[in-house]
């Protein structure tokens, strides 16, 4: 019996025989469809699948072997032109040809996070067990919304949620769900907090008959001035508005000031508004600061506010061998965000939202007869969409599962510990270097600093120097973004930038356990040389600094 039916054996809809694509007759369309079936992943094509995927894997491995810097320095205009020249309506003859083209439109000029000279954002080098998981989950293509699309994948995800909750010490009633990233996890946490607060307001006789928009006007969220932008963005998306988020000052160590929070919450309450949520951060993006979680939790409880901990960055502390104590207060949270694709060294995307009380997930539950009818919930069918704001969702939990089964949690923690230790050593180097200013001592694996040397031959307080003979604030503001832009364009290293008190700074984010003090010191020397050259050529103009804002 043939594996495929012959063309004359295929079912033909007589009502559509006359429909043709331009330049095609019915026979050619059938032949095209038959040829296309050779690309479907199934039993018949399993050998072809192995061969083609191996070509892709070999292309990446070869590229990694030959890559000696994190970036080529290519600009947006060149890449736009190169990719724009590709005719997407004309396929290439085979996988080898497509991969050869991919080298020129992607692989050659990608940003490579595994390189020791990449020190910019919270992008980690990834572990091989997770890459194995990525290959498997993409091929099987389970969808995590309902049991009849995922089966065992549902139980693996649920077990990992339980494991994470146990590590965070959230208690026996905890639950959660995997998400696409920290921003979505924070959005879901604040959606639950909002709906929880509204449910309480509906119990008050004065609010009888009020629609949701009317009640949202009173809700307020408190978070530190250094918290992630997704808090403000989530408030806006949830109909509360950006101004519903009250920014609480930080102390000198960039941790939220509990006294300032207490004052802000009291003022809000006295004004007849509702303190809805307190969002603490365990690992701020710039400074890696972990807010005083226990103190903030007590204030949230005092006002009946939801207490959320954004541990997208610092969540890796739960498996740390030396710094786990920094996450201690997270056990008091009503919800916690963890990004496994940051400090668990997983490929994007892999995040999770955990809640202390699984009953709170009902605030995002919606039953649809065609997908997850309420009868299924009553029958205890484990449909993950009941607790997620996504419907179709990848089996990203598999990557973490294989990482834990092959490497173990302690090994993951050891990688993060190495990054934290390296940041401490680099911080000492920068603090002792007269050409640089360190904005704050490192707390996790980030360092914020700027190039601000003494200016030879200048007079104190003249246009280019301050009273101590160092480069003036305004000159440093123009120079540091220009340094970053020039280094990025060279491709020799990638560093980040940020602002502190309105002033431009550079930033290292160190997540590579194989990077050494020598590797980072060479980046520091590159920044120094570049800064000196720009000063000498007077190239640090405002237009140059605008490359990175």
Query: Can you give the pLDDT of all 549 residues of the chain as single tens digits?
Result: 334 333 333 333 434 434 444 555 777 888 888 888 999 999 999 999 999 999 999 999 999 999 999 999 999 999 999 999 999 999 999 999 999 999 999 999 999 999 999 999 999 999 999 999 999 999 999 999 999 999 999 999 999 999 999 999 999 999 999 999 999 999 999 999 999 999 999 999 988 889 999 999 999 999 999 999 999 999 999 999 999 999 999 999 999 999 999 999 999 999 999 999 999 999 999 999 999 999 999 999 999 999 999 999 999 999 999 999 999 999 999 999 999 999 999 999 999 999 999 999 999 999 999 999 999 999 999 999 999 999 999 999 999 999 999 999 999 999 999 999 999 999 999 999 999 999 999 999 999 999 999 987 555 545 566 666 899 999 999 999 999 999 999 999 999 999 999 999 999 999 999 999 999 999 999 999 999 999 999 744 444 444 444
| Helices and strands (H and E) in the chain: how many | 18, 12
Q: What is the pLDDT of residues 143-165, one digit of tens each?
A: 999 999 999 999 999 999 999 99
pLDDT at 328: 95
Task: Indicate the number of domains in the chain.
Answer: 3
Pair (495, 541) in one structural domain: yes
Tell me the C-alpha distance between 134 and 411, whole Å: 20
What's the Rg (C-alpha) of the chain?
27
Asked if residue 457 is part of any domain, the answer here is yes
pLDDT at 467: 63
Asked if residue 108 is part of any domain, the answer here is yes
Pair (290, 167) in one structural domain: yes
pTM of the predicted model, to two decimals? 0.91
Pair (433, 369) in one structural domain: no
Tell me the C-alpha distance between 1 and 405, whole Å: 43
Pair (300, 169) in one structural domain: yes
Range of the domain at 203: 155-388
Angle between helices 182-201 and 230-237 (to 10 degrees): 50
Pair (97, 170) in one structural domain: no
* Backbone dihedral region for residue 131 (phi beyond 0: left; psi -120 to 50: alpha; all else: beta): alpha
Domain boundary residue, one of 355, 388, 421: 388
Pair (107, 250) in one structural domain: no
Asked if residue 477 is part of any domain, the answer here is yes
Asked if residue 96 is part of any domain, the answer here is yes
Asked if residue 64 is part of any domain, the answer here is yes
pLDDT at 460: 52
Pair (333, 475) in one structural domain: no
Pair (227, 316) in one structural domain: yes
CATH of the domain at 87: 1.20.1650.10
Q: What is the pLDDT of residues 424-451, one digit of tens each?
A: 999 999 999 999 999 999 999 999 999 9
Asked if residue 117 is part of any domain, the answer here is no
Q: Which residues of 436-455 are buried (b: 16+ CB within 10 A; e: fewer)?
A: bbbbbebbbbbbbbbbbbeb
Asked if residue 312 is part of any domain, the answer here is yes
How far CA 179 is from CA of 19, 67, 231, 546, in Å, comes to 43, 32, 16, 34
Tell me the sheet residues that pair with 285.
none
* Backbone dihedral region for residue 378 (phi beyond 0: left; psi -120 to 50: alpha; all else: beta): alpha
Tokens of 255: 């941790």
Pair (322, 430) in one structural domain: no
CATH of the domain at 532: 3.90.1150.170
pLDDT at 496: 98
CA 184 to chain centre: 9
Pair (312, 427) in one structural domain: no
Whether residue 419 contacts residue 513, with contact meaning beta carbons closer than 8 Å, is answered with yes
């Amino acid at each position: 019996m043939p594996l495929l039916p012959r063309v004359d054996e295929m079912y033909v809809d007589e009502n559509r025989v006359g429909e043709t694509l331009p330049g095609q007759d019915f026979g050619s369309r059938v032949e095209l469809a038959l040829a296309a079936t050779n690309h479907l992943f199934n039993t018949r094509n399993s050998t072809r699948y192995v061969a083609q995927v191996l070509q892709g894997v070999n292309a990446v491995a070869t590229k990694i072997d030959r890559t000696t810097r994190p970036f080529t320095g290519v600009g947006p205009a060149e890449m736009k032109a190169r990719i724009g020249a590709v005719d997407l309506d004309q396929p290439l003859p085979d996988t080898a040809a497509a991969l050869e083209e991919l080298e020129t439109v992607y692989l050659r000029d990608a940003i490579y996070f595994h390189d020791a000279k990449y020190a910019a954002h919270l992008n980690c080098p990834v572990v091989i067990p997770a890459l194995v998981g990525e290959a498997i989950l993409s091929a099987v293509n389970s969808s995590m919304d309902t049991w009849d699309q995922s089966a065992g994948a549902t139980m693996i995800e649920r077990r990992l949620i339980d494991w994470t909750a146990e590590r965070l010490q959230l208690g026996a009633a905890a639950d959660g769900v995997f998400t696409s990233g920290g921003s979505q996890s924070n959005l879901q946490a604040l959606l639950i907090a909002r709906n929880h607060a509204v449910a309480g307001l509906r119990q008050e006789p004065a609010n009888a008959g009020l629609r949701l928009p009317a009640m949202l006007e009173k809700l307020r969220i408190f978070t530190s001035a250094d918290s992630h932008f997704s808090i403000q963005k989530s408030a806006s998306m949830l109909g509360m508005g950006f101004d519903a988020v009250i920014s609480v000052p930080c102390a000198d160590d960039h941790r939220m000031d509990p006294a300032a929070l207490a004052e802000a919450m009291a003022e809000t309450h006295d004004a007849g508004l509702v303190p809805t949520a307190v969002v603490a951060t365990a690992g701020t993006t710039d400074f890696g600061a972990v807010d005083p979680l226990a103190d903030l939790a007590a204030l949230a409880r005092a006002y009946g506010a939801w207490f959320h901990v954004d541990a997208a960055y610092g969540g890796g502390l739960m498996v740390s061998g030396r710094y786990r104590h920094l996450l201690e207060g997270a056990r008091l949270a009503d919800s916690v965000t963890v990004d496994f694709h940051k400090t668990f060294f997983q490929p994007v995307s892999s995040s999770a939202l955990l809640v202390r009380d699984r009953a709170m997930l009902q605030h995002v539950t919606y039953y649809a007869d065609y997908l997850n009818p309420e009868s299924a919930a009553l029958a205890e069918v484990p449909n993950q969409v009941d607790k997620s704001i996504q419907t179709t969702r990848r089996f990203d939990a598999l990557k973490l599962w294989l990482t834990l089964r092959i490497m173990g949690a302690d090994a993951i923690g050891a990688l993060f510990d190495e990054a934290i230790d390296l940041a401490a050593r680099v911080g000492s180097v920068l603090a002792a270097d007269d050409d640089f200013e360190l904005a704050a001592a490192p707390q996790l694996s980030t360092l914020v600093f700027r190039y601000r040397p003494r200016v030879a031959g200048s007079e104190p307080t003249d246009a280019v120097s301050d009273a101590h003979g160092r480069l003036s604030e305004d000159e440093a503001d123009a120079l540091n973004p220009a340094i970053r832009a020039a280094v990025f364009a060279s491709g020799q290293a990638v560093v980040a930038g940020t602002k502190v008190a309105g002033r431009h700074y550079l930033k290292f984010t160190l997540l590579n356990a194989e990077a050494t003090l020598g590797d980072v010191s060479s980046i520091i020397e590159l920044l120094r040389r570049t800064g000196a050259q720009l000063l000498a050529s007077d190239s640090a103009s405002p237009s140059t600094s605008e490359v990175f804002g």
